[in-house]
Structure 1
């Protein structure tokens, strides 16, 4: 995978709770037959997402990414994140990036996009991101795991899961789906995890829109669940000022979704649960394709790999409220 689109030839930590329980305790029953039941399929979609997502998202925190992306001419900091994740869509404007990333302050996005495209082409940026993923995975997994049959098996299963995804209504996924597959197993796994994550993410945004939450409201309410970024990190990384955040909180209080202490009310909790259920429901296709047995095997392998990566510095200290894997 060198940043070219398929068939076109064109470029285009320890702060986590290390001793916390696994997100999917072994005692939970895994379906033993085909994923026909909708509730079981949604559950499997969520469980597999939780263990695959760190294998994709670590790259946004990896020092290798900063090194590779700044070497293309991009400025240090958030420019690399916005440009590298948006690059599969081509040199799009700030409005497109803000819309597809959803919970970032559009003012923050506009400081970096479209300027990034004047400093490096999308194709060159994608090459740099892949190089960062390669180096980063070698660091957090180690050569023994990188070359192991277990990783190769996980890569094959994840690629199979990603092979049935449809691009309709999923712009970030659609852009990534046009990229060539890499050849090395650890990069196949990373690319498959990326496709599955962006496919699910596009569906999640559809659920947020359908439930009437703006990008800021979505971020505030998710932070209030205690499952994502810690509040100071959410504000800083997404570019929202204290004043903007406070105004968003007040509006959610008036809507009955947050209480006086900024916690989710029962109505707010029901709303978030409904959003997650719709997100999971729209992300079942790859797991129905794999079937229960292969999905369980991929979950087992990906959980092992993600836990190893997290334990070996995949994410910075003190940014998440709960463990990543």
Structure 2
């Protein structure tokens, strides 16, 4: 399982870009708005949760974990009065289709390499466990799209939500709430700034400062808001537990095929990254 754990650690850098683009491209708001949703956060919350059905804000807060529940209640369950989950799922796949065509081009989408990547990601997804993974289970219940490039996105989405559910479990077992998880993640220096975190996840200054004070009182943050040794150890335990619980797909695929899937997806991820889909990191901003 050591090799599978090493591969699980590399998921974000190699594969996650190919899933996460859906949260930033204009096609998402375009296609989901066309079926009745309001642009912005409603498209995000409803789009990602639709595979679970017409769930309420509590279910989304539980499975998404680090968003302020007050923000979610502004969009759910109202979203389901505007569009059915089935229509939202279909629109999301259409958005992915249009996005991949725009960013990767028809030649790449019709290539033998992409077809091979789809077969490998389907095989890897066969190693995902459904027990205790509500968000993954919803996505796993969807039929695989017929178009190869949309199927690739769906397969990577399964791997991503499977890993995400494991991460939530690891955070809970290590005593971190959704906001606590977000604050400590920012404190690692590997994520976004506190200002970006508060803005995108809907937390107020008062809520954020309260969490910082609580974590400092637990000895996890220092006076400057950075992680203490104890805080660093806690985050390392969380990541180790997440990786260990995410081995299944890569153990199923095996070392050689996993390496091949990375080889096939890496240039696609680089193309997406170079297209400027994602916000620049704070250090790169003017």
Report how far residue 73 of structure 1 moved.
1.2
Structure 1 residue aligned with 2:129: 166
Structure 2 residue aligned with 1:136: 99
Structure 1 residue aligned with 2:5: 42
Matched, 1:228 2:162: no
**5+ residue gaps in structure 2?**
none
Report how far residue 227 of structure 1 moved.
2.0
Structure 2 residue aligned with 1:241: 204
Report how far residue 216 of structure 1 moved.
0.1
Spell out, residue by residue over 1:60-98, the C-alpha distance to the aligned partner (whole angstroms, 9 max, x if none). Answer: 111000111111111121000000100001001110110
Structure 2 residue aligned with 1:267: 230
Q: Which has the higher contact order (CA 8 A, sep 6+)?
A: 1
- Higher mean alpha-carbon deviation, 72-81 vs 223-232, is at 223-232
User: How many aligned positions are there?
Assistant: 284
* Counterpart selection for 2:22 from 59, 62, 65: 59
* Counterpart selection for 1:151 from 96, 100, 114: 114
TM-score (norm 2): 0.96
Report how far residue 105 of structure 1 moved.
0.2
Contact 1:140 1:313 in 2 (8 A): no
Q: Distance in 1 between matches of 2:95 and 2:170?
A: 32
Structure 2 residue aligned with 1:34: none
Contact 1:47 1:299 in 2 (8 A): no
Structure 2 residue aligned with 1:211: 174
* Counterpart selection for 2:215 from 252, 260, 267: 252
Q: Distance in 1 between matches of 2:210 and 2:264?
A: 43
Could you say what secondary structure the match of 2:276 adopts?
coil
| Pairs within 5 Å for 1:54-133 | 54-133=17-96
Report how far residue 318 of structure 1 moved.
4.1
Report how far residue 53 of structure 1 moved.
0.9
Matched, 1:294 2:257: yes
Q: Distance in 1 between matches of 2:11 and 2:48?
A: 22
Q: Distance in 2 between matches of 1:107 and 1:144?
A: 45
Q: Distance in 2 between matches of 1:172 and 1:110?
A: 18
Q: Distance in 2 between matches of 1:48 and 1:239?
A: 27
Report how far residue 147 of structure 1 moved.
1.8
Q: Say which structure is richer in helix.
A: 2
Contact 2:24 2:278 in 1 (8 A): yes
Spell out, residue by residue over 1:173-194, the C-alpha distance to the aligned partner (whole angstroms, 9 max, x if none). Answer: 0000110101121111100000
Contact 1:140 1:310 in 2 (8 A): no
Report how far residue 229 of structure 1 moved.
2.6
